[in-house]
Amino acid sequence: MYPSLDGQHVFITGGGSGIGASIVEAFAIAGSLVTFIDIDINASKALANQFVNVTFEYCDIRNIETLQSVIERSIETNGPIAVLVNNAASDDRHAIESVTQEYWDNCQNINLRPHFFSAQAVLEGMKKLDGGSIINLSSNSFMLKVGGMPGYLASKAAIVGLTNALARDLGPHKIRVNAVLPGWIMTEKQRTLWMTPEDEKELLATQCLKELIYPEEIAKLVLFLASDQSRMITAQSLVIDAGRA
């Protein structure tokens, strides 16, 4: 538990399922006032209804005007945002030959562009609070040179660069900006669409720690980075992949 998170307004993108849902739950249990957005209405409403301190808003993050409007409304309701978690992403597989300009732009518009504009939208409120924490979800996939999704890897690598740039510019305002780089996390989507018994065996062979990683482990790291316990940590990229090589 992190006492500094109690009562703090936390805004999370892509909180309806997977890693995002675990992050929502963790902040809710910590006593934060949580606002999260997603496009999966049914799953998101079911999650929000479990907690009295959680609010769900439908939002397609590709529409920046709508995204920033939702953030502004949440600030009017719950006060300035102390913690922003940029989690929403799409990791659809795609071959180089099949990628069109439209597909590429859509990939970046989901995986990269909202990270900047959501940070822009919370900036003034964090200044009023005399500090805040922005946590950007990236991935270790670009470090491992994973194939079959170049647009996704490009966006996740760019998030690290964006994190460093924001950390430098926002540091004077006591706003910390860090990136979390998960490995292959066993969400329901990954287990259903991608993970095979052969993949699992190969994955564990590459990890120092021979256990599968579940979304709750990512949420634990995010809470630490949001709390005062990490008050002097910024411009860092923290990999959580059980020592995969």
The CA angle 13-212-46, to the nearest 5 degrees, is 35
Model pLDDT, residue 245: 66
d(CA 91, CA 152): 6
| Per-residue pLDDT, 234 | 98
Domains and CATH numbers, the chain: 3-185+214-240 (3.40.50.720)
CA 59: distance to chain centroid?
15
**18-42 confidence digits (pLDDT tens):** 999 999 999 999 999 999 999 999 9
pLDDT reported for residue 61: 98
Residues of the chain with pLDDT under 70: 245
* CB hemisphere CA count around 140 (13 angstroms): 16
Q: Where are the alpha helices (DSSP H) in 91-196?
A: 101-111, 113-128, 150-170, 188-193
**Radius of gyration of the chain from its Cα atoms, rounded to whole angstroms:** 17
User: Is the separation of the CB atoms in 177 and 167 below 8 Å?
Assistant: yes
Task: Output the pTM of the full model.
Answer: 0.95
| Distance, C-alpha 189 to centroid of its chain | 16
Contact 232, 197 (CB under 8 A): no
Catalytic positions, written as ranges: 152
